[in-house]
Amino acid sequence: MGNQRHLIRRGNRWHYNRAYPLDVQEKLGAAPFRRSLRTDSLAEAQRARPEAERQYWATVDAARVTGQRGGAAPLKPADEVSLAVHWFREAIAEQEDWVGEAYAPDELEQAVGGKSQELGDLRRELAEEGGGLDAWRIAREVAEAAGFAATKGLARLIQRARIAKAEIFFARALGDYGERPSDPLFAAALADVVPVAAPAVTQVAPKRTIEDLEAAFRADRWDNIKPASQASYALVIRFLKDVLGARREVEGLTRDDGRRLFEAAKALPAGYGKGKQWEGLDTLAAIERGKREGLATILPKTINGTYMGLLASLFGWAVREGWLPLNPVSTLKVRDPVLPRDKRDAFTPDQLLAIFGGSPWRPRDDSPRGHPVRYWMPLIALYQGMRRGEIAQLRPQYFHVEDGIPLFEVRGDLKNENARRLLPVHPELARLGFLDFVERRRKAGAAGLFHDQHPDKQGKWGDAAGDWFSRHIKSLELKGVRLGLHSLRHNFEDALRRAELHGTPIGAALAGRKGASAIARASV
């Protein structure tokens, strides 16, 4: 029958039912914590059980924090609103430089469906649970920072703010920068900081140029952008000034200017800006040279994700600051003729045998030359489908056992919020001794699972280990398109396809992609 601990059936629905610890029963009452798992299937209830258990502990933790802060002033309804609105504004400000993924036309329907499901999950959590685990976690952080204890009212307001935030970024992914939240509280909060219409002109406004835009954007946003992204922004801003002119007035930019930038980006030669051959050449000169010499141009992914994506973010900031009425590059994207799964080959079975049949895996050396990450990172990428940056940031304390199942949390400086997830340790990794390695590192008091992993100057994790693996693949003379560590993630996703999980909420949760529902994230 499987594990039924804390599961009870009432009518035709399974529930998670658990008594509160004695130390919080005075505050929470003697009645047990109970949550409907919304299913009559025991198997589905067992998969949903971890999420309910996390909600249970969030409630217990909140009660304990409140008890420890007995002398703190209680939160009043007005305080709850103030804290929730402040969190919402900060969340929007922190992600002003977020750029939606570039979708080919045949991918757009699937992307919209995934985002709609994410919004639906957030609204369901609000209706059924008053916010859920993530809202409680944020509420506790916000309240404690202000010297209060979290309340259910604050958690519910935070969940409303999360929905408002998701609505905005859903629209931006589709190129709509004028979206306002459906919740009137947060629509009003956004209107306080983002102009919805141009103010009445009472005097002649100063003429602000692209050069001024760069300076203002750097002053306002630069410290909140990662070093690697700063380098990309610098490249794109240089491109903007080369194509339209540094002294061009921002207010006068039109859709035609946006299309001029779009055409210039499509004509950029591959590798522009890298290497001595481009020194002294501005963007337009580089384009002319590329055409003259018949050089290949940059890939659609670079056009959409780097040039048009970051320009959309830069001009989006200008729109919000009242410098521009409309974003001149909104929705301008090139169709990518290469499907995502075809952009990098997975390894064939024979290639996997060639890789893992040799050093450092055979004969086994899980600490090759003092770099255990070289042994474990490729195996983790293959069996868990994780990105190298996610693997490099693993810590011993992220691992624990729940109901006899070894689990670990993917945390840290991740690609997006979907990458944060709870995963079971693959049985093959356990058989190979991975959990023993984790325990040795824990007993040694290690901060990181791999002692030699640190972010580089651009804030990226795992690049050195990934480069080592690429050199190793090259030494084996394996043939394929861009074979490297990320190819193992493609092998993992091919396995999801064979299991008919690819594109499902559970498959997305396992891979850390968009489209994973709350139940799916709790089920993996």
Answer whether residue 460 shows pLDDT above 50. yes
Answer whether residue 356 shows pLDDT above 80. yes
Average pLDDT over residues 231-260: 92
**pLDDT one-digit tens code per residue, 254-268:** 999 999 999 999 999
Q: Are 213 and 323 a contacting pair, CB within 8 Å?
A: yes
Structure confidence at residue 69 (pLDDT): 44
Strands (E), 23-138: 33-36
Burial 466-483 (b: 16+ CB within 10 A, else e): bebbbebbeeeebeeeeb
Structure confidence at residue 374 (pLDDT): 93
The partner residues of 402 in beta bridges, in order of sequence, read 405
Answer whether residue 103 shows pLDDT above 60. no
Residue 80: pLDDT band by 50, 70, 90 thresholds?
confident
C-alpha–C-alpha distance, residues 426 and 524, integer Å:
11
Give the list of residues 6+ apart from residue 465 with CB closer than 8 angstroms, or none.
371, 373, 374, 377, 388, 392, 450, 453, 485
C-alpha–C-alpha distance, residues 154 and 142, integer Å:
9
| Nearest-5° Cα angle at 51, 48 to 54 | 150
Structure confidence at residue 259 (pLDDT): 93
Higher pLDDT, 35 or 369: 35
3-state secondary structure of 422: strand
1.10.3720.10, 1.10.443.10, 3.30.360.10, 3.40.50.11540: which CATH number matches 342-523?
1.10.443.10
Query: How many angstroms separate the Cα of 312 from the Cα of each of 70, 328, 329, 330, 491?
Result: 49, 8, 6, 6, 34
Extents of the domains making up the chain: 7-193, 210-338, 342-523
C-alpha–C-alpha distance, residues 408 and 337, integer Å:
37
Provide the residue type at 202 as one letter. Answer: T
DSSP state of 249: B
Tell whether the torsion through CA atoms of 23, 27, 28 and 31 is positive or negative: positive
Structure confidence at residue 195 (pLDDT): 40
